[in-house]
Amino acid sequence: MRRLLPIVLAAAALGCLAAPANAVLEPERAVAASRAAIGSATGDYRFTDTNGRRVSLAGYRGKPLVVSFVYTGCSQVCPTTTRFLKRAVAEARRVVGADAFRVVSIGFDIPADNPLSLKVFARQNGVDDPRWDFLTPDAGVPEALARELGFAYKPQSGGFEHLAQVTILDGSGHVYAQVYGESFEVPMLVRPLTELALGEPAAPRTTVAQWIDHVRLVCTVYDPVTGKYRLDYALFMETGAGVIVLGSILAFLVRELRRWRKRPC
């Protein structure tokens, strides 16, 4: 908690615009509520996407879902957070698979965050991922869903004060993890998605395909210098060495057993 507070305090203090001195959002209480939401279930809510299609939160179930709240009138935190999330999502897709999870950004400033303004917001921040939707919630949805996800926001003069928070839902719609800050260490997003990809039942696939996916997920390590994941070849070498040693021991035992059987009684 102490390591998280500086990030969250900074995000909450800045908001998307400078907050007045009598800001009503209490960072410590907001973070506590956010973390308390982990494990809770989400209801089914209705939205309109940027193409005017009606969608529901339940329609995203079956795979992990990354959820971020934004408002299009934000000039600082929301664009910065979205652009960084774009980079983190791209790396996560490279590690766990392009189709392993979905992403939604939900506008909470209704009616300003309509499908058109969210489409412009997505374009301005370079998001063109077909598995990432920008959604306008129905009336009353932002407040209810924010409570379930532990997302805190308060109106301020000229904008909102809010947590810089990304929520990860599991395939059944339960809150699995929270990630805080305008930017964060990429493993904070990739790790829970990897855990869900390894732990949740996947769609029917061949045994070989499942084995390859598990090897790819388990045998990757994060390189903080490049900010990317790479295959851990040392693990392959250690595994190979272990197989050789075990094979040698087995061959020795078989050879000795044969010698023992050939000995005269």
What pLDDT digit, counting tens, does each position of 148-202 carry? 999 999 888 778 888 889 999 999 999 999 999 888 899 999 999 999 988 754 4
* Beta-carbon contacts of residue 19 (< 8 Å; ≥ 6 apart): 13, 25, 156, 161
3-state helix, strand, coil in the chain (%, to 5): 45, 20, 35
Dist. CA 203–CA 205, nearest whole Å: 6
Taking each helix axis from N to C terminus, what angle separates 187-199 and 207-218, rounded to the nearest 10 degrees? 150
pTM of the model: 0.71
Express each pLDDT in 108-133 by its tens digit. Answer: 999 999 999 999 999 999 999 999 99
In sequence order, what DSSP letters do the residues of 203-231 get, joined into one string?
Answer: PS--HHHHHHHHHHHHTEEEETTTTEEEE
Q: What is the dihedral of CA 66, 71, 75, 78, to 10 degrees?
A: -10
CA distances from residue 148 to 43, 45, 145 in whole angstroms, order as listed: 8, 12, 5
CATH number attached to the domain at 5-202: 3.40.30.10
Place of tokens 């390189």: 223
Token pair 């699995």 in the structure block, residue: 176
